[in-house]
Structure 1
């Protein structure tokens, strides 16, 4: 919270969200895990137009 506040003071944008929602952190433990993550990073942009977080797609909530 303190870091977000300082960022918004610097940017002169009080109350503005700074961090990505639903962030997922993962420890890469082996080559198989690394390859799966590389594949995801490579192919994920292809699904952006159908992603539930895409701003042009109506929310289900």
Structure 2
């Protein structure tokens, strides 16, 4: 599955590192591409291992606002 997640307060390269760390902790993540200028995270994942809702919740739990 593919998902595009927009993050309101994605502003620095440290944010990219933080989000990449959160997303990569899940088994079933196949790819994660973060675009700082567009404030977007493109995620390719195995829906049998993880859901997009779980990923979004984890991103929000570390302080980011998913829009």
TM-score by shorter chain over 0.5: no
Bigger radius of gyration, 1 or 2?
Answer: 1
Whose strand proportion is higher, 1 or 2? 2
TM-score computed with the length of structure 1 as normaliser? 0.30
TM-score of the superposed pair, with normalisation by structure 2: 0.28
Q: Which has the higher helix share?
A: 1
Give the number of the structure with larger relative contact order, counting CA–CA contacts within 8 Å between residues 6 or more apart.
2
